[in-house]
Amino acid sequence: MLQFSALPDLPTNPSSPSVLVPTMGALHEGHSALIRRAREIAGRQGIVTVSIFLNPLQFDSASDLAVYPRTLEADLLLCSGLGVDKVYTPSPEEFYAPDHSISIVENSLSRTLCGTTRPGHFEGVCTVVLKLLNALRPSAAIFGKKDYQQLAIIMRLVRDLCVPVEIYGVETEREPDGLALSSRNLNLNPEHRKDASRIYGALLSARDIRETGEQRREVYLQTARKHLVENAPSEMGIEYLELVDRETLAPLAKVTRPALLATAITYDKIRLIDNIEI
């Protein structure tokens, strides 16, 4: 039998809502918004659980995993201040058996966007999320739309594998200058942090084209790319900039249905993602 030394007690009343907010730690106001939404769904009588687990399976780079912020003490204080009922904080050794050999693979939605540049990433995401849902058995789970592809894949996971949980997506929380809140923002140097506001500005500039009735894919991408590269520091790079169908995440030739403009930007080795619905 699997042993989870930090596994919270499961709710004794199955009719009482139990809502999970999965995180990798380094919590910020974006996570706070997820927790507040979880409380709304759970109500006063329900249980809100936050998992804090830096999942090694979803990192395609050991160096990226090594520099990911770890702020457990501050994270626990934030959870306490927001009235979280339980916090689940296993170590990788507790969470994964040393000879674990089963993982979950998604073969459609993960073929675009982050899936093209991060081999194995979504296999790690699907595996950890399914394991968390099985271990904690919440009635609902909350994810942010900043990781839009992740949200879409998890919704597909729940649908295809008949997992009895409702998935909620929450809008992206942003800094005053528009930069999407992310734990990785802590690793940006001051110059790059100031410059990173260009990411959301580029997405907005492209989205505004829709008001003209424009449908051509290349116009949206060219507009966003121009704003991304104009006077950008040499350390800034575009990993991808893509216009996809919001449901299938397949590239769109024309904006004739709900679309998503998504990008991944790097500053040196710091990787930031963002998106906007069109």
Of the candidates 31, 100, 121, 227, the residue annotated as catalytic is: 31
| Partner residues linked to 117 by β-bridges | none
| Partner residues linked to 22 by β-bridges | 51
User: In this structure, how many other beta carbons lie within 10 angstroms of the beta carbon of residue 96?
Assistant: 17
Give Cα 258 to chain centroid, integer Å. Answer: 20
Helix (H) / strand (E) containing 34: helix 29-42
Q: Is 227 a catalytic residue?
A: no
- C-beta separation of 129 from 157 below 8 A: yes
Distance, in Å, from the CA atom of 131 to the CA atom of 124, rounded to the nearest integer, reads 11
Distance, in Å, from the CA atom of 146 to the CA atom of 182, rounded to the nearest integer, reads 9
List of residues 6+ apart from 91 with CB closer than 8 A: none
Positions marked catalytic: 31
